[in-house]
């Protein structure tokens, strides 16, 4: 970092400050591109999963306290650079996958003409050109070169506008025309089975659309973790969690089933007692299963391999025994436990595990998810020692967790301990950078 002038700012003239700032920005740009290629290399190697993170986005966003959306954006850019040689050359670093084409920062021909933000705007614009437009490769190359040339004057925001104009020129047919009929008669909802769940979609009009968006957007607002980190979930996951929270809240109030009075809808799961007691989300090295990988698919990957214990749902689907253990922590799940002869041993009730009084005490003590700070309304009661293992339903064995961190705890990615009557969470080992090496004694 000798390129940076370390003299005190107060001792510099205006021209010296500007020159030092020029050098600092050039060094920052170089390091940003270096980080870009290193991140892409980690992602290609799958190293994040090797050390216990869900993926590269989670590793980098948690470890360096970055916005996950920014990490995804940079990874998309790095993965796409090989298709855009003019952009790659303008970044001034050569291409990391091509050792025969290294960059020489001292060579003016290799000096950076783009920063990462500008490169991202250009590549993102060109990646959005629809394949149906059948644009000639030569035309795409001309557009790329024109945008790199324009980047000498334009910041990323203006490059994005230019990119939209470029796409319109390249795709002369334009987007498919839309139906202008927006009446409520077109409202629809479709639901179809999917792998371990359902997929759905539809259309809402006018005030129904406004109500839906208001509730979803309000529940999907990102929230910081207790140590000040930004919410690591992408917008799509936050919105899915918001919908689940709305459904859970509605089920708890009984308002989800019009015409059924005070009857509250519940999820009933039928499962063998032994499967429930021995269920785990941790991969057993003696079996070929892979365990849960942090995507919310508890036990899904072990279906038909290592963990064969399953719980049967009313609507015909199944859950892994490990998933039932997690879900059974909360009062909204009624487990129908079967003995060795498939006879019911115990049918849970609404107050089988966490009573209203205990839940209120939990809300007052934990004030939401103890791992990330999510509000109590979307947090679940978790047994530190599971009830199937003899754990009591008491405050000193309970903690509030949002669904995401509830899964993380059951996977062993987070550990809960009690200190002075309050639960605390231990973060995974990969969540913090290694301490920098100590400098030698310069005295």
Q: Where among 253, 288, 311 does a domain terminate?
A: 253
Given a cut of 60, whether residue 330 has pLDDT beyond it is: no
Number of domains the chain contains? 3
pLDDT greater than 90 at residue 38:
yes
Residue 373 to residue 156: CA distance in whole angstroms: 34
pLDDT of residue 55: 85
pLDDT digits 0-9 by tens, 90-148: 997 554 444 444 445 444 444 568 899 999 999 999 888 876 667 778 888 998 999 99
Asked whether residue 140 is domain-assigned, the answer is: yes
What is the per-residue pLDDT for 339?
52
Across 329-342, average pLDDT: 52
Could you tell me if 280 and 248 lie in one domain? no
pTM: 0.48
Q: How much is the pLDDT for 85?
A: 92
Answer yes or no: do 162 and 198 share one domain. no
Q: Is residue 235 part of a domain?
A: yes
Q: How confident is the model at residue 343 (pLDDT cuts 50, 70, 90)?
A: very low
Report pLDDT for 222.
83
Q: 118 and 244 share a domain?
A: no
pLDDT of residue 147: 92
Model confidence at 255: pLDDT above 70: no
Residue of 191 and 332 predicted with greater confidence: 191
What is the 8-class DSSP label of residue 15? H
> CB 115: neighbour CB atoms within 10 A?
21
Residue 284 is assigned to a structural domain of this protein: yes
| Same domain flag for 148 and 233 | no
Q: What's the Cα-to-Cα distance from 275 to each of 286, 324, 356, 381, 408, rounded to whole Å? A: 18, 10, 29, 22, 21
Question: What is the pLDDT, as a whole number, of residue 273?
Answer: 60
Least-confidence region, from 12-16, 79-83, 164-168, 181-185: 181-185
Q: What is the DSSP track for 66-113? A: --HHHHHHHHHHHHHGGG-HHHHHHHTSB-TT-TTSB--TTSGGGS--
Where is pLDDT greater, at 278 or 238? 238
121 & 206 share domain: no
Same-domain status, 271 and 240: no
Residues 45 and 160 reside in one and the same domain: yes
**3-class DSSP assignment, residue 199:** strand
160 and 226 share a domain? no
Residue 285: predicted pLDDT: 38
Average pLDDT on 381-410 reads: 82
Instruction: Calculate mean pLDDT across residues 145-152.
Output: 92
Give the burial string for 254-290 (b: 16+ CB within 10 Å, else e).
eeeeeeeeeebebbebbbbeebbeebbbebeeeeebe
Round the average pLDDT of the chain to a whole number and report it: 73
Residue 156 placed within a domain: yes
What pLDDT does 118 receive? 93
Asked if residue 189 and residue 155 are part of one domain, the reply reads no
Summarize pLDDT for 276-326 with one digit per residue, the tens.
566 554 444 344 333 333 333 333 333 333 344 666 654 556 666 666 666
Domain containing 211: what range?
184-253
- The verdict on residue 2 lying in a domain is no
């Amino acid at each position: 970092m000798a390129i940076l002038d370390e003299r005190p700012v107060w001792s510099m003239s205006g021209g010296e400050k500007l020159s030092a700032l020029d050098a600092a920005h050039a060094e920052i740009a170089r390091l940003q591109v270096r980080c870009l290629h290193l991140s892409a290399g980690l992602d290609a190697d799958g190293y994040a999963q090797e050390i216990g993170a869900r993926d590269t986005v989670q590793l980098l966003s948690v470890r360096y306290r970055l916005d996950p959306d920014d990490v995804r954006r940079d990874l998309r850019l790095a993965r796409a650079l090989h298709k855009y040689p003019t952009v790659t050359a303008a970044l001034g670093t050569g291409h990391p996958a091509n050792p025969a084409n290294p960059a020489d920062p001292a060579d003016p021909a290799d000096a950076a003409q783009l920063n990462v933000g500008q490169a991202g705007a250009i590549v993102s614009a060109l990646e959005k050109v629809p394949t149906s437009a059948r644009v000639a490769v030569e035309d795409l190359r001309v557009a790329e070169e024109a945008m790199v040339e324009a980047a000498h004057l334009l910041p990323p925001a203006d490059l994005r506008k230019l990119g939209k104009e470029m796409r319109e020129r390249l795709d002369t047919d334009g987007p498919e025309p839309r139906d202008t009929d927006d009446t409520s008669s077109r409202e629809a909802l479709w639901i179809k089975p999917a792998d371990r769940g359902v997929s759905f979609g539809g259309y809402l009009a006018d005030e129904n659309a406004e109500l839906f968006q208001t509730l979803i957007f309000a529940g999907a607002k990102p929230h910081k973790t207790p140590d000040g980190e930004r919410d690591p979930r992408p917008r799509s996951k936050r919105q899915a969690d918001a919908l689940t929270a709305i459904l859970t809240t509605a089920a708890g109030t009984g308002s989800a089933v019009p015409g059924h009075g005070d009857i509250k809808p519940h999820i009933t799961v039928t499962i063998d007692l032994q499967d429930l007691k021995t269920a785990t989300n941790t991969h057993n090295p003696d079996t070929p299963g892979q365990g849960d990988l942090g995507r919310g698919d508890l036990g899904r990957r072990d279906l038909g391999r290592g963990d064969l214990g399953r719980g049967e749902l009313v609507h015909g689907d199944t859950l892994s025994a490990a998933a039932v253990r997690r879900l059974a922590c909360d009062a909204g799940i009624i487990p129908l436990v079967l003995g060795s002869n498939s006879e019911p041993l115990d049918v849970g009730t609404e107050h089988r595990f966490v009573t209203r009084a205990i839940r209120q005490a939990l809300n007052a003590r934990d004030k939401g998810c103890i791992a990330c700070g999510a509000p109590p309304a979307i947090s679940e009661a978790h047994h530190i020692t599971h009830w199937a293992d003899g754990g009591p339903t008491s405050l000193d064995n309970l903690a509030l967790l949002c669904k995401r961190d509830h899964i993380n705890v059951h996977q062993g990615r987070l550990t809960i301990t009690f200190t002075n009557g309050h639960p605390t969470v231990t973060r995974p080992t990969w969540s913090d950078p290694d301490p920098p090496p100590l400098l030698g004694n310069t005295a």
